[in-house]
Amino acid sequence: MGLGEFALIDRYFRKCGVKRADVRLGVGDDAALLDSPAGCELVAAIDTLVAGVHFPHGSPAASIGHRALAVNLSDLAAMGARPAWALLALTVPNSHDAWLSEFAAGFSALAYAYDVALVGGDTTSGPLCVSVQILGHVPKGAGMLRSGARPGDLVFVSGTPGDAAAGLAVEQGRLDAPAAAATYLRKRFLFPSPRMALGERLRSYASACIDVSDGLLGDVGKLAHASGCGVELSYGKVPVSEALVQAVGDERARELALTGGDDYELCFTVKPEHVGKLRQDLPPQRWGYSLIGVVQDAPGAVVMSGGNVMEFSHSGYDHFGSSMG
């Protein structure tokens, strides 16, 4: 067994993440005391990773620590918020030194990258399960919602979705790929980069935004549903990485880009009259986003190719519909 909870928290998590001046009291008391900036709304999200559901049993501890924070950061990016503080609820079967130290290192490296302080935690013994609560800020009234899209708005996505789903398949030995492609795809699953800088900047241009975590087609459908609209995507415009095409071919690559999970990219809509300024201020080549479709009146999310509606067997990853070996 080794360390007690008290010592464990102390050893691994007291120095996790950055020091911030707005943390009056961090890890170590019953609760944290935090100073919110004036003129801002608090932005709060919680997300859980469960072994065998969100990552394969035996995943590298550094990746689990990284992803537990990344999936939450991605939720804040989708609101256009800047992260500040995180709280961590970690349930682990045993308190192995090496595992905990790697987990903390993975979490901490990403926290440093985005100026996040770890201000609270709870560790428990049990089946591996990690919940992170993230807190950040957005100027009052400026947060991007899922519900702001209107018919005629153009639909964009950042990055190259589908990579993470292929990376997971490589990680699990279900997919062979050339070495360089395999390395790239695995990294996209194990260490995703939440789009924090893009998210904050999009506040001035986007009418709606959602993070792509459960599959692009399903997630854009949620955005459209929340906006009381539908969406039409162009199959040929869905961006795919070279590595993904190398690994699975063009057709399967686009299918994974539409239905694979764990991308943590941003899908957002922009009114036609704002697209010019968006492209000028945030050049797509530099910021890495692509036009993929348009918001329409008719509900649902459809994919068009050469004038035909394409069918997909499932429109995104549902946590209650699948499991991971």
| Contacts to a copy of itself from residues 130-189, by CB under 8 A | 131, 133-136, 138, 140, 143, 145-147
- Which stretch in 3-11, 238-246, 251-259, 295-303 sits in contact with a copy of itself by CB under 8 A? 3-11
Q: Is 320 exposed, middle or buried (0-12, 13-18, 19+ CB in 10 A)?
A: exposed
Q: Which residues contact 226 (CB under 8 A, 6 or more apart)?
A: 145, 146, 147, 208
Which residues from 237-276 bind a copy of itself, rule CB under 8 A?
none
CB of 142 to a copy of itself, least distance (A): 10
The answer to whether 314 contacts a copy of itself (rule: CB under 8 A) is no
Pairwise CA distance, residues 213 & 265, whole Å: 7
Which of 25, 197, 298, 309 contacts a copy of itself by CB under 8 A?
25
Question: Which of these, 74, 54, 61, 18, lies nearest to 198 by C-alpha position?
Answer: 74
CB of 69 to a copy of itself, least distance (A): 14
Which residues from 193-222 bind a copy of itself, rule CB under 8 A?
209-211, 222
- Which stretch in 60-68, 118-126, 232-240, 245-253 sits in contact with a copy of itself by CB under 8 A? 118-126
Which of 18, 89, 294, 304 contacts a copy of itself by CB under 8 A?
89
- Which stretch in 57-65, 126-134, 171-179, 295-303 sits in contact with a copy of itself by CB under 8 A? 126-134
Are 227 and 147 within 8 A, CB to CB? yes
CB of 250 to a copy of itself, least distance (A): 30
Which residues from 276-295 bind a copy of itself, rule CB under 8 A?
none
Q: Which residues contact 291 (CB under 8 A, 6 or more apart)?
A: 154, 155, 156, 237
Which of 56, 91, 96, 302 contacts a copy of itself by CB under 8 A?
91
The answer to whether 53 contacts a copy of itself (rule: CB under 8 A) is yes
Pairwise CA distance, residues 151 & 296, whole Å: 4
Number of residues engaging a copy of itself in binding (CB under 8 A): 75
Write the binding mask 28 to 47 for a copy of itself: x where contact by CB under 8 A, - elsewhere. Answer: xxxxxxxxx-x--xxxxxxx
Q: How far is CA 86 from the centre of its chain?
A: 15
CA-based R_g, the chain, Å: 20
Tokens, residue 167: 């990376």
Q: What is the dihedral of CA 282, 284, 290, 295, to 10 degrees?
A: 30
Which of 61, 62, 69, 76 contacts a copy of itself by CB under 8 A?
76
DSSP 145-158: -GGG--TT-EEEEE
Tokens, residue 276: 């010019």
Tokens, residue 227: 């906006």
- Which stretch in 12-20, 128-136, 247-255, 281-289 sits in contact with a copy of itself by CB under 8 A? 128-136
Which of 7, 180 has the CB closer to a copy of itself? 7
The answer to whether 319 contacts a copy of itself (rule: CB under 8 A) is yes
